[in-house]
């Protein structure tokens, strides 16, 4: 695919944290296999001096989404914990990188990197119009971030080789939902 990256573009890498990698408490099968591809894209954006955003799930220890609080997930991505760290294999540029923490309040969950964060402002004040999206999980945080972007009038470009879903069925349905909403899927860049 020939997509030219312009000064209106940014990249977001969604939740590439240890707890979502194989062996983590909420593992997404094969999530580590997309790291080399994501690193390549990140380096391309870095070279072009485009901003790269890294979202992370960053929950208090008694977060509403945890089973102990009546939620659906085991405790995961507790702020400051080992499991909440980004995978060490993930390349993060020194300059022009932004970390977006979400799900930080006890009583709210946030699957979208736009929810309760400064992401929209950070993009708009830089004149960003298109947001390239990769990361995990396709059926949760990636999907909601993409739908959030559309809602806020950004054009989300989803990198097919840079996403992974919790289940194949979940992934398929999420892709259909994103397509229907107007997201663009790229085979590669």
Contact set with ligand VGL (CB under 6 A) = 15, 26, 57, 73, 136-137, 140-141
Least gap, CB of 141 to ligand VGL (angstroms): 3
Residue 57 found at the interface with Zn ion (CB under 5 A): yes
| Nearest to ligand VGL of 141, 157 (CB atom) | 141
Strand order in the sheet with 155-164: 97-102, 52-57, 9-14, 130-136, 155-164, 184-186
What are the CA-CA distances from residue 146 to residues 37, 40, 60, 79, 155 (Å)? 19, 21, 25, 24, 9
Rounded Cα distance between 11 and 157, Å, is: 9
H or E stretch at 99: strand 97-102
| Closest to ligand VGL by CB, 15 or 120 | 15
- Selection from 149, 161, 189 nearest residue 178 by Cα: 149
State the catalytic residues: 15, 102, 141
CB of 57 to Zn ion, least distance (A): 4
Complex with Zn ion: residue 57 or 120, whichever CB lies closer: 57
State the minimum distance, in angstroms, from the CB of residue 49 to Zn ion. 32
Residues 148-167 that bind Zn ion (CB under 5 A): none
């Amino acid at each position: 695919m020939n997509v030219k990256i312009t000064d209106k573009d940014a990249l977001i890498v969604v939740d590439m944290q240890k707890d979502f990698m194989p062996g983590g408490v909420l593992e997404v099968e094969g999530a580590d296999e997309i790291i080399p591809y994501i690193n390549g894209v990140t380096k391309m954006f870095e070279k072009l001096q485009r901003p790269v955003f890294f979202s992370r799930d960053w929950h208090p220890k008694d977060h509403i989404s945890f089973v102990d609080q009546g939620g659906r997930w085991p405790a995961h991505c507790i702020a400051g914990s080992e499991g909440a760290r980004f995978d060490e294999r993930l390349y993060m540029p020194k300059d022009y990188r932004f970390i977006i923490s979400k799900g930080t309040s006890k009583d709210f969950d946030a699957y979208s990197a736009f929810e309760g964060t400064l992401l929209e402002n950070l993009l708009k004040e830089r004149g960003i119009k298109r947001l390239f999206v990769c990361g995990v999980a396709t059926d949760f945080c990636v999907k909601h971030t993409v739908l959030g972007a559309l809602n806020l009038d950004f054009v989300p470009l989803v990198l097919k080789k840079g996403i992974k879903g919790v289940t194949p069925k979940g992934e398929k349905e999420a892709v259909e939902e994103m397509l229907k909403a107007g997201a663009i899927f790229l085979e590669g860049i």
